[in-house]
Amino acid sequence: MSSKLQETLDKIQVLMQEASGELEQVDSMKVLNALRVKYTGKKGVIADLAKVMRDLDNDGRRELGQHMNEFKQKIETTIEVSKARIEARELEIKLAEETLDITLPGKKQALGSRHIITQTMEEIEDLFIGMGYQVIEGPEVELDHYNFEMMNLPKGHPARDMQDTFYISEEVLLRTHTSPVQARTMEKHDFEKDGPLKMISPGKVFRRDSDDATHSHQFHQIEGLVVDKEITLADLKGTLLQFAQKLFGEEREIRLRPSYFPFTEPSVEVDVSCFKCGGKGCSVCKQTGWIEILGAGIVHPNVLEMAGIDSTKYSGFAFGLGPDRVAMLKYNVDDIRHFYQNDLRFSDQFKGGQN
């Protein structure tokens, strides 16, 4: 063996140890790639060793060739092992950084709920739907014709003052009550085809009332109307008693007091026995034992006739109740303005319909 060959083989031994040490310690892909170039690159250690070939005879070349191949293979295998080790470690670091602690408390989203007036309206609607009434809605921007004239309140009638009105033009206004929906519905009703008329109409109404604890310039009403043959005040009383007992409790009683509305004759105001004190007298009922909840009456023959209904054949009762006032009484709210100020400290008390 020539001394040149021996020297080169010894050098390979040393390089092999050096390379193993370097490659086993490397801990980044960048350094690993640099080492790959250093050993296997075009101008690398192995390419450099190959230069000795030209100084050797055939046997020497074969021998060196074998050792160089082993060296090269060893380096490549060690590079692959190191690469796998580095990748596994990098993945571990990444996973550790991205770890989610699923035991941490989540961000709480504040859940909304339906407004207490909406809840009250829906409760009242459900009661009447259960009694066979249909729900019919009408426009909030209304014609003077339906809001007043069809309700037996011609222009200049003094009772128009009972409902101070927001006019948009001489003929168009913001409805002051839900009663115009009575006229709109009766006009279209065909008794032969549709049978008796039983409807309620919930919605917003508007009045130029100055706001105080029990008055708001915008509030709600639920109109009720039944028209059929031989409807009497007794039907109205029975219906409202059933309604009051379902809404406020079975032990409730009602009382009808004479009143005046141009669209009903006779007209009544309806009180319900105080649900707080049971009629003995307390601060809620102002010591009277009774609480007023609505206006009602027997539909005036003029109102039926104007809507095209023969008042000698048909009669009806109607009522209009204020759900805002009902909610105030039911939930002991002392000021109607609380409903419209959107203060969550107030609204949140009624989540789930409970006080």
Residues of this chain that bind ligand FA5 (CB under 6 A): 177, 179, 207, 209, 215-216, 219, 221, 223, 261, 264, 294-297, 318-320, 322, 324-325, 336
Q: Shortest distance, CB of residue 318 to ligand FA5, whole angstroms?
A: 4
Q: Shortest distance, CB of residue 177 to ligand FA5, whole angstroms?
A: 3
Alpha carbons 253 and 245: distance in angstroms, whole number: 7
Rounded to the nearest 5 degrees, what angle is found at the Cα of 354, between the Cα atoms of 351 and 355? Answer: 100
Closest CB to ligand FA5 among residues 219, 243: 219
The first and second tokens of residue 151, run together, are: 């309700």
Q: Shortest distance, CB of residue 151 to ligand FA5, whole angstroms?
A: 8
* Radius of gyration from C-alpha coordinates of the chain: 46
- Contact (Cβ atoms closer than 8 angstroms) between residue 144 and residue 268: no
Question: To the nearest 10°, the Cα dihedral for 16, 18, 24, 28?
Answer: -120
Q: Shortest distance, CB of residue 260 to ligand FA5, whole angstroms?
A: 10
Q: Cis peptide before 158, with omega less than 30 degrees from 0?
A: no
Buried b (16+ CB within 10 A) or exposed e, 315-333: bbbbbbbbbbbbbbbbbeb
> What amino acid occupies position 227?
V
CA distances from 114 to 224, 309, 352 (A): 24, 39, 8
Cα dihedral sign for 243, 249, 252, 258? negative
- Contact (Cβ atoms closer than 8 angstroms) between residue 319 and residue 200: no
Q: Shortest distance, CB of residue 292 to ligand FA5, whole angstroms?
A: 6
Instruction: Tell me the residue nearest to ligand FA5 as measured from the CB.
Output: 322
- Classified as helix, coil or strand, 30 is helix
Residue 122, marked binder: no
Alpha carbons 218 and 32: distance in angstroms, whole number: 78
Closest CB to ligand FA5 among residues 279, 322: 322
The partner residues of 320 in beta bridges, in order of sequence, read 223, 295
Closest CB to ligand FA5 among residues 142, 324: 324
Q: Cis peptide before 266, with omega less than 30 degrees from 0?
A: yes
Closest CB to ligand FA5 among residues 261, 275: 261
Closest CB to ligand FA5 among residues 39, 261: 261
Q: Shortest distance, CB of residue 183 to ligand FA5, whole angstroms?
A: 11
Q: Shortest distance, CB of residue 319 to ligand FA5, whole angstroms?
A: 5
Closest CB to ligand FA5 among residues 64, 307: 307
Closest CB to ligand FA5 among residues 49, 285: 285
> What amino acid occupies position 145?
H
Alpha carbons 315 and 327: distance in angstroms, whole number: 31
Q: Which residues are annotated as a binding site for Mg(2+)?
A: 265
Q: Which residues are annotated as a binding site?
A: 265
